[in-house]
A = this chain, B = another copy of it.
Amino acid sequence: MFIPAKTNRISSNIVDQIRKAILGGDLKPGDRLPSEKELSQQFGVSKASLREAFRALEALGLLEVRQGMAGGAFVTEVNLETARSNLFNYIFFQNPAIHEFTELRSFIEPAAAEIAARKASPKDIRELEQNLERTRKKLDAGPFYYDLDTQFHHRIASITGNRLVCFVIDSLKNAIVNIKLELELDQAFSVKVFEAHKRIVEALRNRDPETCRVEMLRHIREVDEMMTACCDAEKPFVA
């Protein structure tokens, strides 16, 4: 019925105005806003209020303020890092169960893998093979390394050429790694992941979309089982 009453802070007002100008196309990435002094006069507010607005816009990733003679406030495209970080703030509080991550991943990643099997270039395949090789080398180095795993899934996602798909897969992986993770995953886990990755690349190399899809689904479910088992065993979380 009613909409939550808004803040009437001057800085919010300025944030809204500038954000709208950006989303409305009046301000474009690279554009420089007038200096603090000028802009505060234009808005009819103090420098302090304007600066508070700048800090908010920077947090959103819409602005970058640089010091120095050729400095100032520049409009920027929101970068991936900022977007993922801001999304993470939300997911953190949702604290989804592993099966929620798994379910969503099982919708997206097998489908993406299927498409990747059709689209992958020789270079794509080479990069994935490199990833496998690096993973293999780390296999008996003890703890599970998330970096190469994250990279593996990222590469496959990016073969689809769909930036939204890529972003979601990345963000999910990132969130799992940062929230659920640091479960003490043993070497058996690493090996299973490696074997699954191998089968997926194999299917990709064979240009076999259906197998690629199936193997990815199997991989995701297998990881789910292992992580869930690990959680249930109440192995220590390391924040």
Taking Cβ atoms with an 8 Å cutoff, the residues of A that contact B are 11, 15, 19, 23-25, 29, 48, 51-53, 55-62, 77-78, 80, 82-83, 86-87, 89-94, 96, 100-101, 103-104, 106-108, 111-112, 160, 162-165, 167-168, 172, 239
What does DSSP make chain A's interface, helix, strand, loop or mixed?
A: helix
The minimal Cβ–Cβ distance linking A32 to chain B, given in whole angstroms, is 17
Given A58-B56, A90-B78, A168 and B104 touching (CB < 8 A)? yes
Bound state CA distance, A86 and B168, in angstroms? 14
The minimal Cβ–Cβ distance linking A207 to chain B, given in whole angstroms, is 20
**13 A–B contact pairs at CB < 8 A?**
A23-B89, A52-B52, A78-B90, A83-B89, A83-B90, A91-B164, A96-B163, A100-B162, A103-B165, A104-B108, A107-B107, A107-B111, A168-B168
Which residue on chain B has the smallest CB distance to residue A61?
Answer: B89
Chain B residues lying within 8 Å of A86, measured Cβ to Cβ, are 60, 83, 86-87, 90
The minimal Cβ–Cβ distance linking A214 to chain B, given in whole angstroms, is 15
A56-B58, A100-B165, A107-B107 known; 10 other A-B pairs, CB under 8 Å?
A11-B55, A19-B89, A25-B239, A56-B59, A57-B59, A61-B89, A91-B164, A100-B162, A100-B163, A103-B165
